[in-house]
Amino acid sequence: MTLAGLVLAAGGGTRFGRSKALVSYEGEPLVARAVRMLRTGGCAPVLTVLGADAEAVRATLDLADTVVNPEWATGLGSSLRCGLAALPDTVEAVVIALADQPLVGPDAVDRLAAAWREGAVAAVATYAGQWRNPVLLSRGRWPEVVASATGDAGAGPWLRAHTGIVTPVPCDGTGSAYDIDTPADLQALED
């Protein structure tokens, strides 16, 4: 069973003032942390979707597979569509992570993968009962997700519309879904 990882890291970081993928936390670019987290969690291959500052971001990734979303400025939805389309045909499911959530741990990926091996077609990490990232989607659901991924909406609209088949996976104790949107968010994390 082939479980891939997909890191969405194409945004320009408008609220942050620069590409968040290049922001360093604990001495490591956020995008590299996300790739490492998915690899450690057992995903292979791991594909990173780039956009803004693509060459600079690519330079931070050691031997990581990348694809450039030419429509990155239209929002997260186009990056999700681009990434799913670029995954090899052998991939049966994918764990999708965001580059700006450096505290998500590989154990969350392990738990999502376990839910998939037990039959989940879609799974979402929960923290304190709240749906967050990462999410897992089996390949059979990708066309429906792609159809609903527009603007800054990724898999969220599809997940909310199909709660009956989405498996919530408690990930408390595996890390945190805290995301960095502004320099103040990063500063709060470092304090």
> pLDDT by residue (tens digit) across 82-135?
999 999 999 999 999 999 999 999 999 999 999 999 999 999 999 999 999 999
Q: What is the pLDDT of residue 63?
A: 65
Q: What is the pLDDT of residue 15?
A: 85
The confidence band for 164, taking pLDDT boundaries of 50, 70 and 90, is: very high
The percent of residues in the chain predicted with pLDDT above 90, rounded, is 72
Give dist(CA 92, CA 138) in Å, integer: 6
Q: What is the pTM of this model?
A: 0.95
Q: Where are the alpha helices (DSSP H) in 76-191?
A: 76-86, 106-117, 142-148, 156-161, 183-190
Burial class (CB in 10 A: 0-12, 13-18, 19+), 174: buried
